A and B are shown apart, each in its own frame.
Chain A
Amino acid sequence: MQHARVLNSGKIQNEWTSIWHIQTEAFFLYSDMSQDRTILVCAKETPDTYSDLSFSGGSVQFSNPRPVLNAYDASALEEALVLSEAHGFRVHVVMIGPEKASETLRKALAMGADEATLLTDAPKDADSAVIAKILAAFVEQFGPDAVIMGRQSQDTDVGLAGGMLADHLQWPWTTNAIGIRFEQEAFWVKRQGDSAQEWIDSPMPCLITCSNNLNDPRIPTLKGIMASKKKPMHIVAIDSLPGGDALSTLAPSTTIESLTPMPERAAGELVEGDLETLVEALMKGLGSIPETGVGS
């Protein structure tokens, strides 16, 4: 459906809009979607991994009890807002989470997103594969011009959801974005490799996953926070999405067997003494490095 859409052509866009409305009658109505092209930002709420953490009974606790907006997704949102300011995109943020995640999602509205959807009642222990399937159903119904999201979440660092989502959608996917431009009806994505950067031309619709080096996400202002109360936030149960029954009962394909603190690094050995002793200790130390590790 999306591929047939010709941008800037009022006729086709209107046609498309009417299809959209028919499809969504039983679902919910977005405000004035026909006017603009839309960037969809997928965002997740995560524990505040910058706060102190402790382990007990196989689970981890953070000293800040309140979850935060995943920093990588915040960068994706910041970039979407910058693109929106320059090119008039509408920015819609979607989050899968419990109802109380609406506070974190509201932060996205306070930063400047136009509209948000919270998809609730996700299957228990949803892993990346499950999340990607739910997001794919939402994206297919919603039909944005681009999806921009973090390359990973700051708590698990898994980084699979974006790629799996692109695969479901069969959209071009660009990873590790550190810069995004919109030119000649396409996204130009600067991506960071190990030792070089490349610019990739990504026609719409496309999916981009972002590095947190992309930008410095804005802090919501008081006015933004007050204005966010008036912006639409749709709370939608996953089973009301197209194919929702299957989605809401998806089983994770991976399970977490155990969760343990990072092993502490073994303490170094402090060698004291005269030069001879030091050299001797050094030679002994070098001798314990496996042959292959020493190089030629």
Chain B
Amino acid sequence: MFNIHDPYLFEDELAEDDRMIMEAAREYCQANLEPRALRGNQDEIFDPEIPKEMADMGLLGASIAEEYGGGGASQTAYGLIAREVERVDSGYRSFMSVQSSLVMVPIEKFGTEEQKKQYLPKLASAEMIGCFGLTEPDHGSDPSSMVTRAVPTDGGWVLNGAKTWITNSPIADVAIVWAKVKEEEEDVIRGFIVETSWKGVSTPHIKDKMSLRASETGELVFQDVFVPETHMFPDIRGLKGPFTCLNSARYGIAWGTVGAAEFCYERSRTYVGERKQFGHPLAANQLPQTKLANMLTDITTMQLLAWRLGQLRDAGKVDPAMISLAKRHNVGKALDIARVARDMHGGNGVTGDYRVIHHVINLESVNTYEGTYDIHGLILGREITGIQAFVPKG
């Protein structure tokens, strides 16, 4: 029988653990997150209970080692969780991605044993919330030109600068901050673990966001902040540091957007089946049918890309360009699907109740953050042609 949710039956191919984790995450998200999504978005509420609930379910740091409080699950499982969370709201998935991929991953990969012991269990249990500071007001797609800087002082560093568009910053206890330091006359990007309660750190909230409204976004401002030596990542240098984290989060986005697209497709399918115009269900017309056919075809490509990418990550065979390809393709397709779904709902498509416009507007952010659609196109273009086109040659 043709499965109209999973046409190529990829869920059958998952390992039993991964499938069980997917089903548990689905049950949690549908029972506990879905009922909060509409109001959360309209009223810009990120329910402070959500981190604790996700932690109790084991959804924070799912693929971090168990000895540090993580779940010890596969990369595929992490992706499947992102799909379930984003089926409800990309904002909730943003919280989960930042905590897991952008904060726990760098501490696990680059941190000292003390740093891992001090922070990972508390991040896994949501006793602490984390954020990730790379983007600056004048340096987005080109983070290598950042101006935030740390200079050496007795026992550590003095940090100055500002980061913006930082998911979770207003509610964060700890921030992973990327800043320049001078090493042998050269500027090198290094990573620091900065607690937001330290003197000189402020985290103003960014007001009036029209997208990802249930996700807290703010700035990170550092004025002569003393960072002890113990809070620098000891060995990682250059953009490899932040890009390792971003690769993990972008991979999660490739999966997450599958969930958002599936939601919009499902809602449209139900809607055109029930809504009658000209005496017949909308679903009886050719245009709605082919729109649904296009959606399902795109969703199938998205599912298979994400699933295969998960396998490659689990096998340790991933190249960052593979992640760029999936992030770019899946977000782009999810956005197309959400926009068509909005249209198929007619006037109801602009109301919160049906929640398709909620996904349209969320996916606009997802298309931009973690490397814009076009920047990932340029990454692929460089791989394909061997010529970088980020810096115009004029």
Where the two chains meet, the residues of A that have a C-beta atom closer than 8 Å to any C-beta of B are 61, 63-66, 103, 106-107, 110, 219-226, 228-229
What would be 29 A-B contacts, judged by CB atoms less than 8 Å apart? A64-B5, A65-B1, A65-B9, A103-B20, A106-B16, A107-B23, A110-B24, A219-B27, A219-B31, A219-B57, A220-B20, A221-B24, A221-B57, A221-B58, A222-B24, A222-B58, A222-B59, A222-B62, A222-B71, A222-B77, A223-B71, A224-B58, A225-B20, A225-B24, A226-B66, A226-B71, A226-B72, A226-B73, A228-B20
Say how far A55's CB is from chain B's closest CB, in angstroms: 12
Q: Say yes or no: A103 contacts B62, CB within 8 Å.
A: no
Whole-angstrom distance between the Cβ of A23 and the nearest chain B Cβ: 32
> Roughly how many angstroms separate A86 CA and B4 CA in the complex, as a whole number?
45
Report the nearest B residue to A111, measured CB to CB.
Answer: B24
CA distance A274 to B77 in the complex (A): 64
Cα separation A118 to B16 with both chains bound (whole Å): 17
Measured CB to CB, the closest approach of chain B to A231, in angstroms, equals 13
Output the nearest chain A residue to B28 by Cβ-Cβ distance.
A219
Which of B20, B28, B66 contacts A107 (CB under 8 A)? B20
Interface pair A63/B3, CB less than 8 Å apart: yes
The residue from B1, B16, B23 contacting A61, defined by CB atoms under 8 A apart: B1
Most buried by A among B4, B16, B59: B16
Residues of B within 8 A of A63 (CB): 3-5
> A-B contact count, CB below 8 Å?
55
Q: Judge whether B313 is part of the interface by a CB distance below 8 angstroms.
A: no
Which residue of the partner chain, among B5, B12, B17, B56, contacts A225 with CB atoms under 8 Å? B17
Q: Is B291 an interface residue (CB 8 A)?
A: no
**Interface secondary structure of B, over-half rule:** helix
In the assembly, what is the distance between CA of A220 and CA of B17, in Å? Answer: 12
In the bound complex, CA of A38 to CA of B324 (Å) = 53
> Which residue of A has the minimal Cβ distance to B29?
A219
- Separation in Å of the A61 CB from the closest CB of chain B? 6
A222 touches B16 (CB 8 A): no
The answer to whether B205 has its CB under 8 Å from any CB of chain A is no
The answer to whether B4 and A226 touch across the interface, beta carbons within 8 angstroms, is: no
Within 8 A of A (CB), among B60-99: 62, 66, 71-73, 77
Residues of B within 8 A of A64 (CB): 5
Q: How far is the CA of A61 from the CA of B9 in the complex (A)?
A: 16
CB nearest to A226 among chain B residues: B72
On chain A, the residues within 8 Å of B77 by CB distance are 222
**For A225, what are the chain B residues with a Cβ–Cβ distance below 8 Å?**
17, 20-21, 24, 58
Q: Name the A residues within 8 Å of B17 (CB-CB).
A: 225-226, 229
Interface status of B19 (Cβ within 8 A of chain A): yes
Contact of B3 with A222 in the complex, beta carbons under 8 Å? no
Which residues of chain B come closer than 8 Å to A220, judged between CB atoms? 20, 24
Residues from chain B with a CB closer than 8 A to the CB of A229 are 17
The contact of B16 among A103, A219, A223, A224, by CB within 8 Å, is A103
Smallest distance from the beta carbon of B248 to chain A beta carbons, Å?
17
List chain A residues, Cβ under 8 A from B66.
226
Residues of B within 8 A of A103 (CB): 16, 19-20
Q: How far is the CB of B56 from chain A (nearest CB, A)?
A: 7
**What 12 additional pairs, Cβ within 8 angstroms, besides A110-B24, A221-B58, A229-B17?**
A61-B1, A63-B5, A65-B1, A65-B9, A65-B12, A103-B20, A107-B20, A110-B20, A222-B24, A222-B77, A225-B17, A225-B24
B23: which A residues are within 8 A, CB to CB? 107
User: Considering only CB atoms, which chain A residue lies closest to B57 in the complex?
Assistant: A221
C-beta contact mask, B46-62 vs A, less than 8 Å → 1, else 0? 00000000001111001
Chain B residues with Cβ below 8 Å from A228 are 20
Chain B residues with CB under 8 A of A106: 16, 20
Do the beta carbons of B3 and A65 come within 8 Å of each other? yes
User: In the complex, which residue of chain A has the Cβ closest to the Cβ of B20?
Assistant: A225
What chain B residues lie within 8 Å of A65 (beta carbons)? 1, 3, 9, 12
Bound CA–CA A103/B31 (angstroms): 22
* Bound: A226/B63 CA distance, A: 12
* CA gap between A224 and B17 in the complex, in Å: 11
CB distance from B69 to the nearest CB of A (A): 10
From B4, B11, B27, B73, A222 is in contact (CB under 8 Å) with B73
Residue among B1, B4, B11, B28 with the highest chain A CB neighbour number at 10 A: B1
What is the CB-to-nearest-CB distance from A124 to chain B, in angstroms, rounded to a whole number?
22
0/1 per residue, B273-312, Cβ < 8 Å to A?
A: 0000000000000000000000000000000000000000
Query: Which residues from 96 to 138 on chain B have a C-beta closer than 8 Å to any C-beta of chain A?
Result: none
Chain A residues whose CB sits within 8 angstroms of the CB of B3 once the complex forms:
63, 65
Contact pattern, B 178-212, Cβ under 8 Å of A = 1, otherwise 0: 00000000000000000000000000000000000
Docked Cα-Cα span, A110 to B21, in Å, equals 10
B54 nearest CB across to chain A (Å): 10
A235 CB to closest chain B CB (Å) equals 14
- Which residue of A has the minimal Cβ distance to B9? A65
With both chains docked as a complex, state the minimum distance between the C-beta of A125 and any C-beta of chain B, in angstroms: 22
Residues of chain A with a CB closer than 8 A to B59's CB? 222
Q: Tell me the complex Cα distance, A35–B3, Å.
A: 47
| Chain B neighbourhood of A66, CB < 8 A | 11, 19
Name the 9 nearest CB pairs between A and B, nearest first.
Answer: A222-B58, A222-B71, A219-B27, A221-B58, A220-B24, A225-B20, A223-B58, A221-B57, A219-B28
A229 to B9 Cα, complex, angstroms: 24
Identify the closest chain A residue to B4 (Cβ): A63
Q: Which residue of A lies closest to B27 (CB)?
A: A219
Q: How far is the CB of A36 from chain B (nearest CB, A)?
A: 26
State A226–B72 Cα separation when bound (angstroms).
8
Q: In the complex, which residues of chain B have a beta carbon less than 8 angstroms from the beta carbon of A107? A: 20, 23
Q: A residues within 8 A CB of B73?
A: 222, 226
C-alpha spacing A175/B26, complex, angstroms:
32
Q: Do residues A219 and B24 form an inter-chain contact, with CB atoms below 8 A?
A: yes
**Nearest B-chain residue to A56, judged by Cβ:** B1
